[in-house]
Amino acid sequence: MKVLLLADPSSAHTIKWANSLNEKGLEVFIFGLSKYEPDQYNDNIQIESLKTPDKIKAKLDGNFLKIMYIAALPKLKRIVNSYKPDILHAHYVASYGVIGALTGFRPFLVSVWGIDILTFPNNSFIHKAVVKFALKGADKVLATSEYLATETKKYTNQNIQVTPFGIDTETFSSNSLNSCEKDEIIIGTVKSLERKYGIEYLIEAFSIVNKKYPEKNLKLILVGGGSLEKKFRQMIHNLGIDDSAFITGQIPYNQVVGYHNKFSIAVYVSTVESFGVSVLESSACEKPVIVSSVGGLPEVVEDGITGIIVEPRNVNATAKAIEKLVLDSSLRKQYGKEGREMVKRKYHWDNNLNGMIEIYNNILTKNL
């Protein structure tokens, strides 16, 4: 089976889907617009990318970026005609979904990822029309969570099939060699330092607990970079927790699992979230998790079993949840073990991968 993926080749999710499909015997071609690291892909995966530099992309507003996608359409059509895929699958409806629909190729699938449905259509009636157009052109629409599927239904009459980003539980597993030292408790998160991820609420909550229990040797590690990194560093300084709170900056994806294993408690208190891959990665590493009751996050945490769910934007509730786990090491261990079992049961990568291949096969046999 030949699959042409329209997706950001620099995305960890694209890399994971492409390599895994290829390892299952599918022939994979990726068309994208971003720079990427070739050595992150299997050797026999073909990639065609315009490789737009990040600095140029950052200077362009959303409208110009969309024009870039449309300008790429003739090249994409030539690739479709020469490669002759069995399946055309676009990841992210507001960009790759649009040019995929414009090719007129069938069968065509669209996977919605998050902000392409949660925020993009709200910008104007034109943005909403763009989303509806891309979804209408698809033979099948996929979403990463039940929450995102429900939101997508606002723009299409199609049935939405949920295809989660599964977790490789062999890679993401508890590793005592990377685990935190016994004399410190590390609270951590793996997220871009952007407003929607609620990092400021985590910093404030940590500061409260840290000052209340100085003898616990608490540490906060924010794993990731982003546009608010400078602001958060200043916030840490203003709160007087420079010796306890640290920001790693952007790191390669292959280093993420090591940080998950350093954590004693993982916290994800986003204000907008379509799913929760990082939460599941933490759970797979047997870490107790604290999440906000936003979007798809409650789907990936069993409250009081694998972690604690708190109200979004609620510093005190987040601090109380952190405090509860800081004071109870046996509860941390219990939540962590239950979390890994939940991931293996509901979000194992092989099951999700086989489910996607089954969708492809059903479309090719017209059994939608």
- pLDDT tens across 169-221, in order? 999 999 855 555 568 999 999 999 999 999 999 999 999 999 999 999 999 99
Sequence-ordered list of residues with C-beta below 8 angstroms from that of 36, at least 6 positions apart, any chain: 9, 10, 47, 49, 51
**pLDDT, position 180:** 53
What is the mean predicted confidence (pLDDT) over 54-70? 53
Judged against a pLDDT cut of 90, whether residue 342 lies above it is answered with yes
Q: Does residue 328 lie in a domain region? A: yes
191 versus 59: the higher-pLDDT residue is: 191
Residue 219 shares a structural domain with residue 272: yes
Residue 324 shares a structural domain with residue 360: no
Residue 253 belongs to a domain with what CATH number? Answer: 3.40.50.2000
Say if strands 265-268 and 140-143 run parallel, antiparallel, or are unpaired: unpaired
Judged against a pLDDT cut of 90, whether residue 71 lies above it is answered with no
Phi, psi dihedrals of residue 138, rounded to the nearest 5°: -95, 145
Phi, psi dihedrals of residue 313, rounded to the nearest 5°: 60, 25
Cβ–Cβ < 8 Å for 4, 89: yes
Judged against a pLDDT cut of 50, whether residue 158 lies above it is answered with yes
Q: Does residue 172 lie in a domain region? A: no
Q: Does residue 62 lie in a domain region? A: yes
Could you tell me the pTM of the whole model?
Answer: 0.85
Residue 209 shares a structural domain with residue 340: yes
Q: Does residue 178 lie in a domain region? A: no
Q: What is the 3-state secondary structure (H, E, C) of the chain?
A: CEEEEECCCCCHHHHHHHHHHHHCCCEEEEEEEECCCHHHCCCCCEEEEEEECHHHHHHCCHHHHHHHHHHCHHHHHHHHHHHCCCEEEEECHHHHHHHHHHHCCCCEEEEECCHHHHCHHHCCHHHHHHHHHHHHCCCEEEECCHHHHHHHCCCCCCCEEECCCCECCCCCCCCCCCCCCCCCEEEEEECCCCHHHCHHHHHHHHHHHHHHCHHHCEEEEEEECCCCHHHHHHHHHHCCCCCCEEECECCCHHHHHHHHHHCCEEEECCCCCCCCHHHHHHHHCCCCEEEECCCCHHHHCCECCCEEEECCCCHHHHHHHHHHHHCCHHHHHHHHHHHHHHHHHHCEHHHHHHHHHHHHHHHHCCCC
**pLDDT, position 182:** 63
60 versus 141: the higher-pLDDT residue is: 141
Sequence-ordered list of residues with C-beta below 8 angstroms from that of 30, at least 6 positions apart, any chain: 4, 5, 6, 7, 9, 14, 18, 41, 45, 46, 47, 48, 49
**pLDDT, position 234:** 98
Any idea which of 25-39, 64-78, 229-243, 254-268 has the lowest mean pLDDT? Answer: 64-78
Question: Which structure tokens are listed for 43?
Answer: 């050797």
Phi, psi dihedrals of residue 4, rounded to the nearest 5°: -105, 110
**Domain, as residue range, for 231:** 185-346
Quick: pLDDT tens for 255-274.
999 999 999 999 999 999 98
Look over the chain and give the mean of its residue pLDDT values, rounded to a whole number: 92
Q: Does residue 54 lie in a domain region? A: yes
**pLDDT, position 308:** 99
Closest CA to 189 of 176, 181, 200, 173: 200
**pLDDT, position 56:** 44
Residue 106 shares a structural domain with residue 162: yes
Judged against a pLDDT cut of 60, whether residue 53 lies above it is answered with no
Residue 216 shares a structural domain with residue 245: yes
What is the mean predicted confidence (pLDDT) over 137-165? 95
Judged against a pLDDT cut of 50, whether residue 2 lies above it is answered with yes
**pLDDT, position 254:** 85
What is the mean predicted confidence (pLDDT) over 30-47? 93
Judged against a pLDDT cut of 50, whether residue 139 lies above it is answered with yes
Residue 192 shares a structural domain with residue 160: no
Residue 214 shares a structural domain with residue 356: no
The edge-to-edge listing of strands for the beta sheet with 160-162 is 46-52, 27-34, 2-6, 87-91, 108-112, 140-143, 160-162
Quick: pLDDT tens for 243-254.
999 999 999 888
Count how many domains the chain has: 2
Residue 216 shares a structural domain with residue 323: yes
Residue 105 shares a structural domain with residue 191: no
16 versus 66: the higher-pLDDT residue is: 16
Residue 315 shares a structural domain with residue 196: yes
- The C-alpha atoms of residue 350 and residue 200 are separated, in whole angstroms, by 35
Q: Does residue 72 lie in a domain region? A: yes
Q: Does residue 9 lie in a domain region? A: yes
Judged against a pLDDT cut of 70, whether residue 51 lies above it is answered with no
Q: With pLDDT > 90 as the criterion, what percentage of the chain qualifies?
A: 83
Residue 131 shares a structural domain with residue 192: no
Residue 142 shares a structural domain with residue 196: no
Closest CA to 274 of 114, 149, 124, 153: 114
- The C-alpha atoms of residue 21 and residue 178 are separated, in whole angstroms, by 30
**pLDDT, position 57:** 47
65 versus 306: the higher-pLDDT residue is: 306
**pLDDT, position 52:** 58
Q: Does residue 251 lie in a domain region? A: yes
